[in-house]
Copies of this chain bind each other. A is one copy, B any other.
Amino acid sequence: MKNNIYKIIELTGTSSTSIEDAISQAIKRAGKTLKNLCWFEVVETRGNITKGKIHHWQVTIKVGFALEG
C-alpha cells in the first residue's frame, strides 16, 4: 500500500442467486468506470421477497480505490 489517498464509495449490488454474487456484481460495475479498486467491506445485507421467496439479494458495500496523483 503506497503513500496514496483512497476514496470510498457505497454501492448496492443485487443478485437472485447469492450474497457473494450480489457483491461481485457491484464490484464489476464499479470497475467499468474506476481503476485501482483495492478493497470492499459489507455494510448491509437485505433482500426483497416476492410470493414468499427471496427475489433479490441486495448487499450494500463500501469500495475503496486509489486516487491518482
**Chain A residues with a Cβ under 8 A of chain B:** 1-16, 18-20, 23-31, 37-42, 44-49, 52-54, 56-58, 60, 62-64, 67
B12 touches A64 (CB 8 A): yes
For the complex of A and B, 6 pairs with smallest distance between CB atoms:
A31-B52, A42-B45, A6-B12, A8-B10, A5-B29, A37-B49
In the assembled complex, which residues on chain B have CB atoms less than 8 Å from the CB atom of A11? 5-8, 67
B62 touches A49 (CB 8 A): no
In the assembled complex, which residues on chain B have CB atoms less than 8 Å from the CB atom of A8? 10-12, 60
A54 touches B23 (CB 8 A): yes
Bound form: Cα–Cα A67–B63 in Å: 15
